[in-house]
Amino acid sequence: MPRMTDERVRAGLAREEDLSLLHEVSMKTAGVSHLEMCIQCGTCGGSCPAAQDMDHTPRMLFAMLRAGMRDEVLRSNTPWICVSCYHCVVRCPQEVHIADVMYTLKGMAIHAKLYVNSTAPHFSQTFVGMVETFGRSYELGLASRHYLRHFPLRLPGMIPMGFGMITKGRMAIMPKKIKHMDQLKKILDRAKQLELTS
C-alpha cells in the first residue's frame, strides 16, 4: 500500500517532520500538558492581560501547532509576551498547562534561533548565566548588562531608581555566592546532558 501523505504536506502547508509538532511540544513540556485536548474555545486569549501585544493569541498558536507551522510558531512573540499569570491556566476547560507550553516554546525558539526580538531571550540567558555562576541571582549585574545591551536610552531615566535601590540597600553591589557551587555545577552539567539525550 502506498504511504499516505497528509493533505497538509501535499498542499505544501507543512513539512512531513512537522506533522507531529503538537506531540513534540507536548512531550517537551513539564507535567502532562493536555495540549492535545485543546478545543479552540479561546478562553485563554480572552483571559490574557497581555494579549494585545501578542502576535497570536494562545488559542491561535495552538491551532498553528496542530497545523505543523513550526517556523511561524517559533517566530511568534506570544511566548515571550506571556507574563506567567496563569489566568488562562485556571480558566482552561481542558486543563492545558498553557504557561508551561509557553516555556517550552521559548526553549525551542532559543534552540532553533528563531526568535525575532532578542530582548527577552537575552534577558533569560543573562539571568541564567548569573545563577549558573553564583547560584543566586545578581540584580545589579543583570540589570546593568541587560540595559546596556537592549535599552541604553532607557538608562538615564533609570538612574534615580537605581540610585535609590542601591542607597536603600535594596540592590547589592557585589554578587552573593552559594557555598557549594561545585555541587550545583555538577548537577546542572548532568542535567544538561540528560536534556540532550531525552
Partner 1 sequence: MNKYLLYPGCSMESSGRAYGESINAIVESLDLHFEEIDDWNCCGATEYLGINLIPAYSLIARNLALAARQSAAQTNGPHTVVAPCSACYLNLAKADYYMQERPSLGVKVNEALEAGGLQYKAGTLDVRHLIDVLVYDVGLETIQSKVVRPLHGLKVVPYMGCMLPRPDYQHRWSDHEHPTELDDLLRALGADVIDYPLTTSCCGGHMTQIGPETAFELIRRLVADADERGAVLMATVCPMCQMNIDAYQNEMNHYFGTDYHMPILFFTQLMGLAFGREPDEVGIGLELVSSRNALAQIGVEVPITQEPGAPRKKYEGLPMPRRWTKHEQKEAVK
The Cα 40–Cα 27 span in angstroms is: 20
Q: Determine, following the binding rule CB under 8 A, whether residue 24 of this chain makes contact with partner 1.
A: no
The Cα 135–Cα 184 span in angstroms is: 7
Three cell numbers written together for 5: 501523505
Q: Which of 9, 63, 89, 114 binds partner 1 (CB under 8 A)?
A: 89
Which range, of 13-21, 38-46, 60-68, 131-139, touches partner 1 by CB under 8 A?
131-139
Three cell numbers written together for 149: 545591551
Q: Which of 35, 76, 106, 141 binds partner 1 (CB under 8 A)?
A: 106
48: exposed, middle or buried (C-beta count within 10 Å: 0-12, 13-18, 19+)?
buried
Q: Which of 37, 90, 112, 116 binds partner 1 (CB under 8 A)?
A: 90
Helix ranges (DSSP H) in the chain: 7-10, 21-28, 43-47, 58-66, 70-75, 78-81, 87-91, 98-112, 119-134, 139-150, 155-167, 181-197
Q: Determine, following the binding rule CB under 8 A, whether residue 154 of this chain makes contact with partner 1.
A: yes
Which range, of 5-13, 38-46, 64-72, 171-179, touches partner 1 by CB under 8 A?
171-179
Q: Determine, following the binding rule CB under 8 A, whether residue 53 of this chain makes contact with partner 1.
A: yes
What's the min distance (Å) between Cβ of 20 and partner 1? 18
The gap from C-alpha 158 to its chain's centroid, in whole angstroms, comes to 26
Q: Which of 60, 73, 80, 141 binds partner 1 (CB under 8 A)?
A: 80
Q: Determine, following the binding rule CB under 8 A, whether residue 169 of this chain makes contact with partner 1.
A: yes
Q: Determine, following the binding rule CB under 8 A, whether residue 86 of this chain makes contact with partner 1.
A: yes
What's the min distance (Å) between Cβ of 14 and partner 1? 25
The Cα 51–Cα 86 span in angstroms is: 13
Q: Which of 96, 101, 104, 141 binds partner 1 (CB under 8 A)?
A: 104
